[in-house]
Amino acid sequence: MSNTILTRALVLLIALSMATTAFAGVLPDAGEVFVLTVLVLSGLKSFVILSDYLGLRQAPTFRGGFTAFLVGFLGLAALLYALPFAM
Amino acid sequence: MTDQTSVLDELPGDLMIWVLIVSELLVFGAGLLAFLGMRAMDPAGFAADQAALNRVAGAANTIVLVTSGYCAARAVNAFDHSLRAMRLWLAAAMGFGIVFLVVKWYEYAEKARHGIGIETSDFFTFYYLLTGFHALHVVAGLIIFALLMRWGTHRNLEAGAAFWHMVDLVWVLLFPIIYLVH
């Protein structure tokens, strides 16, 4: 991966991490909205690491597979979070 | 003679490191889902215990680890041009990795001062097992980098950096679930 892409990935990862921290500070008890936003931000950070740090940008088939795993995992995490509300 | 290409040829680096990455993601993923499953049975208790965690330290460690991953990736790129540059980037990656462990040690010491241990509650059992197992991977990554400093080849360096990015990836998924979801 080129140095330019790596630097852009680092800037994006730091921005997403700071957004997570800021969001946690501003809306610490916002329930479902807070949790969904934090999980989506985590998914975006994971996507950047897979694409640019691990180089899957050059392997679209595998990037698709890992993205499907991430979406499934984070979706299941959100469902488990919401489970007590349904009981 | 036909030119046979496989979809596996797309993958950057060795196939075996990807087998390891998938295995590790499955292990940590199962651990995190088990944590959320336990939380579903006692959300109030888990939220009370989670309040004792140091979110600032966890968030700072996310930035430390992704910056370390950047340095590791730059070390791979530098290898073909300059061994000295490769070693400097690798040393920077190791430096950030050590900062991660120091912050983690501070967090554990803070808990110990308050009498919190692995058997305090289900929340803290999962907290120590998942973050402790992750920290052991950071230690393993540092040892791999130390070996690569002396005996690195491009192939080995690429595999070592991929291991380190997997450690990054696991933390990025672990941090919000353990520290933030309540």
Give me the mean pLDDT over the A21-38 stretch: 80
Of B10, B66, B182, the CB nearest to A61: B10
Global confidence as pTM: 0.93
Residue pLDDT, tens place only, B21-35: 999 999 999 999 999
Contact B25 A46 (CB under 8 A): no
- Residue to mutate among A7, A45, A74, with most B CBs inside 10 A, is A45
Least confident of B7-11, B70-74, B79-83: B7-11
pLDDT of A1 higher than 90: no
**Cβ atoms of B172 and A45 closer than 8 Å:** yes
- What per-residue confidence (pLDDT) applies to B111? 95
Q: Band the pLDDT of B105: cuts 50, 70, 90.
A: very high
Kindly report the average pLDDT of chain A as a whole number. Answer: 90
Residues A48-72: b if buried by 16+ CB within 10 A, e if exposed: bbbbbbbbbbebeebbeebbebbee
What pLDDT, on a 0 to 100 scale, did the predictor assign at position B5? Answer: 74
CB A23 within 8 A of CB A38: yes
Local confidence band at B2 (pLDDT 50, 70, 90 cut-offs): low
8-67 in B: which are within 8 Å (CB) of A? 10-13, 18, 21, 25, 29, 32-33, 36-37, 39-41, 43, 55-56, 59, 62-63, 66-67
Which chain B residues have a beta carbon less than 8 Å from that of A27?
A: none
In contact, B61 and B100? CB cutoff 8 Å: yes
Nearest partner of B51 among B116, B133, B136, judged by Cα? B116
Spell out the residues 6+ positions from residue B107 whose beta carbon is closer than 8 angstroms to its own.
Answer: B53, B54, B57, B58
**Which has the higher per-residue pLDDT, B103 or A30?**
B103
Q: Quick one: pLDDT band at residue B113, thresholds 50, 70, 90? A: very high
Two tokens, residue A29: 């008890």
Predicted local confidence at residue B182, as pLDDT = 80
B119-150, pLDDT tens digit by residue? 999 999 999 999 999 999 999 999 999 999 98
Average pLDDT over residues B76-105: 95
The answer to ipTM > 0.85 is yes
Are B130 and B178 within 8 A, CB to CB?
Answer: yes
- Whether residue B73 and residue A80 make contact (CB cut-off 8 A), yes or no, is no
- Look at B59 and A17 and tell me if their CB atoms are within 8 Å: yes
List helix spans (H) across chain B. Answer: 15-41, 43-50, 55-78, 83-113, 122-151, 154-175
Residue B1 has pLDDT above 60, yes or no: no
Mean pLDDT of B85-101: 97
